[in-house]
Structure 1
């Protein structure tokens, strides 16, 4: 309880900028949770790509098709779609897969831009809060006894905003980096799987 009260006290000492940083923190957590839930639903996973690769390499086409039908996620749906449209010679299947995969990747990237913005904005907001606090601390012109201590104490309180801004930026950067890494892996899986499908189509012609 004492730790909580101390945290609230420091929060108020940081000034009005702390409320903006609090909103940014809530925004980061909300985006992180929303993206995590979306990735859990839409990401077929590295295991799917690896199993599909093994089946296709061993020419177990029907098993690979069943794997796609019984797996979740965008990549599995695209593979299932490809198998269903493979006999239709009137469409350019690989071009269609490229377009659909681009739409899928764009959905994975949704809202991650805001995290990138907060990474840049949060330290600047913290610095702004610190500057405002330091202006207030150094606005004392009568150097009477005890006022020097008041100035140094004001500077210490002003630095709370900078520290908070840096913490918010670090958390936002970590969450952003995690999802970007997952997207890179998803793109790699899609490229690998689509190359296998293209090779199968080429052999069947």
Structure 2
């Protein structure tokens, strides 16, 4: 059986399942590109930040962080930009990190929903298809093969729902792992920055 035949056999619930699969692909591509373009050179920054802070070259440090352009660098930048103000640097860094983490997690909740929802939609489509198949029994000349064939085709919807859920779960797991890497990098740079700043204030 070709794809078009299977799609039609799955019933009308195949349409939202196909839509869900497109959403998964779109979110994965968007997040993948976002993460790739917002990485920081954490090891390099870890070596350079102490040098600039020791020299109190805050403008130079700002330039360095801006040129890096990554999210972990932007968290430290939030503190450096307010270095001359009497503000709690720890609160600034924590607030910037919290905001950055929120941006990193954008759209991931949709993937989580699709992981749960897709099998349910597939099961619903199969149940509806099976109800239609067993209606053949109410026809006076109904054939048993028509019933079994209809049930087999109705199961296509469940299989599609499971497939979409598996793809969504893989995408969600991969992207969540990327978020964890970003959070780890933000904590590393933020802790380094705060440790030096607080030591200088004492």
TM-score bracket relative to the smaller structure? 0.7 to 0.9
How many residues are matched? 195
Q: Does 1:61 align with 2:52?
A: yes
Q: Match of 1:164?
A: 160
How far did residue 11 of structure 1 move? 0.3
Q: Is the 1:25–1:168 Cα contact (8 Å) retained in structure 2?
A: yes
SS in 2 for 1:77: helix
* Structure 2 counterparts to residues 56-135 of structure 1, below 5 A: 56=49, 59-61=50-52, 65=61, 67-88=64-85, 90-135=86-131
- Partners of 2:138 and 2:115 in 1: how far apart? 40
Cα deviation code 1:139-173 (max 9, x no counterpart) = 22268788111111111101000000001111111
How far did residue 79 of structure 1 move? 2.1
| RMSD, aligned α-carbons | 2.3
SS in 1 for 2:137: coil
Q: Is the 2:78–2:92 Cα contact (8 Å) retained in structure 1?
A: no
Q: Which runs of no fewer than 5 residues in structure 1 stay unpaired?
A: none
- Partners of 2:7 and 2:71 in 1: how far apart? 43
SS in 2 for 1:60: helix
Question: Could you state the TM-score of these two structures normalised by the residue count of structure 2?
Answer: 0.86
- Partners of 1:13 and 1:49 in 2: how far apart? 52
Cα deviation code 1:33-92 (max 9, x no counterpart) = 222232233x324xx222222445xx433699364232122221232343343343x111
Question: Could you state the TM-score of these two structures normalised by the residue count of structure 1?
Answer: 0.85
Q: Is the 2:39–2:70 Cα contact (8 Å) retained in structure 1?
A: yes
- Partners of 1:202 and 1:93 in 2: how far apart? 9
Q: Which runs of no fewer than 5 residues in structure 2 stay unpaired?
A: none
- Partners of 1:77 and 1:187 in 2: how far apart? 12
SS in 1 for 2:68: coil
Q: 1:39 aligns with which of 24, 35, 39?
A: 35
Q: 1:16 aligns with which of 12, 15, 25?
A: 12
- Partners of 2:97 and 2:184 in 1: how far apart? 12
